[in-house]
């Protein structure tokens, strides 16, 4: 596209004028409404692209700005694949993509992507669903001082989860007429196939698998992220972290073969939370760096600006991790 046809200058004034939502909560509601409406038409990669765009759209609510190269690196695909994902998301009415240029040298720079709102009518069903999986109102397992779940070596108490327990009990008592594999049981609870596969290495009963995949992982990770990355965690999508979950399960299974673990699920949750926190720190640093680049800054000035921006997204240990990443970065021209 000719630069003469690019009318948007990438700066804070332009971005502020293009916001599409009044609050982060509104943006998160749009994310889940769009995923619910269009999720069946999106590939796993297209959904992750949409999720990452939402993460970059928090400072100017509903407006993300980053290069296709940067997004491709984050998602783990090629630049052409990102553009194909953009095309699909635009076709479904989920985003708008605008070309932009820098004021300093009038060169084309990162795309401006607007997350388009979708009218949402809250129903009883949506109140019972969080992140696309049923939520059960049972007591939380006790946490130790490190935040890992303990006392599950004998399995979860069935009193902790009445609905799951009653169903599993009926499965056992009627085994002559009901014959289902663990994966079929998990499918009955609307657990995504990718998540089921991800924790396959864990040597735990199906009851614990259901607990982990319907709420255990999400709740535990959120409780930690809410302290370290309070802004990013508000639209936490478990499916965006399948790689981290799979890695944590594999590590846990390996360690469990080498030594006796007091709590397999506790160890697993500790590892997966650490991996997701690392990912969140990297993502926050990328957001801060991209914002610095959008302001036309580079080198040391961009690092200083990025460190300042980071405190809007991270706190406590999370902020320390993010600033460490930013300090190691050498920021040049946007690709």
Q: Where are the alpha helices (DSSP H) in 261-331?
A: 264-294, 299-310, 316-327
* Kind and range of the H or E run holding 81: helix 79-91
Distance CA 127, CA 217 (A): 20
Tokens of 25: 């909560």
Per-residue pLDDT of the chain (335 residues; tens, 9 = 90+): 555 566 777 778 888 999 999 999 999 999 999 998 998 999 989 999 999 999 999 989 999 988 888 899 888 899 999 999 999 999 999 999 988 776 666 666 778 899 999 765 543 344 444 444 333 333 333 344 344 433 333 333 434 444 455 545 544 444 444 556 666 666 666 678 888 889 999 998 888 888 888 888 999 999 999 999 998 888 888 889 999 999 999 999 999 999 999 999 999 999 999 999 999 999 999 888 888 877 778 888 888 999 999 998 998 899 999 999 998 875 444 44
Q: Which pLDDT score is estimated for 5?
A: 62
Distance CA 244, CA 241 (A): 5
Distance CA 154, CA 23 (A): 44
Distance CA 56, CA 283 (A): 9
Instruction: For strands 133-134 and 129-130, give the pairing.
Output: antiparallel
Q: Nearest Cα to 290, choosing from 71, 133, 54? A: 71
Which residues have C-beta within 8 Å of that of residue 139, sequence separation ≥ 6? Answer: 160
Q: Which pLDDT score is estimated for 102?
A: 67
The SS3 assignment for 63 reads strand
Q: Which pLDDT score is estimated for 241?
A: 92
Say if CB 26 and CB 81 are below 8 A apart: no
């Amino acid at each position: 596209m000719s630069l003469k046809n690019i009318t948007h200058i990438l700066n804070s004034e332009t971005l502020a004028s293009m916001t599409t939502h009044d609050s982060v909560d509104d943006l998160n509601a749009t994310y889940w409404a769009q995923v619910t409406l269009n999720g069946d038409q999106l590939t796993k990669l297209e959904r992750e692209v949409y999720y990452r765009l939402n993460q970059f759209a928090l400072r100017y609510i509903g407006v993300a700005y980053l290069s296709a190269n940067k997004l491709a690196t984050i998602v783990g695909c090629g630049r052409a694949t990102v553009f194909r994902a953009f095309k699909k998301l635009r076709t479904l009415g989920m985003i708008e993509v605008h070309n932009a240029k820098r004021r300093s040298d009038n060169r084309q720079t990162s795309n401006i992507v607007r997350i388009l709102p979708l009218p949402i009518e809250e129903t009883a069903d949506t109140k019972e669903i969080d992140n696309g999986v049923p939520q059960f109102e049972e007591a939380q397992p006790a946490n130790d001082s490190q935040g890992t779940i303990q006392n599950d070596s004998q399995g979860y108490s069935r009193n902790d989860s009445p609905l799951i327990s009653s169903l599993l009990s009926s499965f056992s008592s009627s085994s002559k007429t009901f014959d289902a594999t663990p994966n079929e049981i998990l499918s009955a609870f609307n657990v995504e196939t990718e998540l089921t596969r991800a924790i396959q290495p864990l040597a735990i009963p199906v009851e614990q698998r259901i607990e982990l995949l319907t709420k255990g992982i999400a709740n535990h990770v959120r409780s930690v992220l809410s302290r370290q990355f309070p802004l990013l965690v508000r639209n936490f999508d478990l499916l965006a972290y399948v790689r981290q979950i799979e890695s944590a399960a594999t590590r846990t299974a390996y360690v469990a073969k080498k030594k006796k673990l007091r709590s397999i699920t506790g160890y697993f949750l500790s590892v997966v939370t650490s991996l997701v926190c690392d990912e969140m720190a990297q993502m926050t640093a990328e957001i801060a760096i991209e914002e610095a680049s959008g302001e036309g800054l580079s080198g040391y000035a961009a690092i200083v600006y990025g460190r300042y921006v980071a405190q809007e997204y991270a706190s406590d240990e999370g902020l320390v991790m993010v600033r460490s990443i930013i300090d190691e970065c050498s920021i040049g021209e946007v690709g």
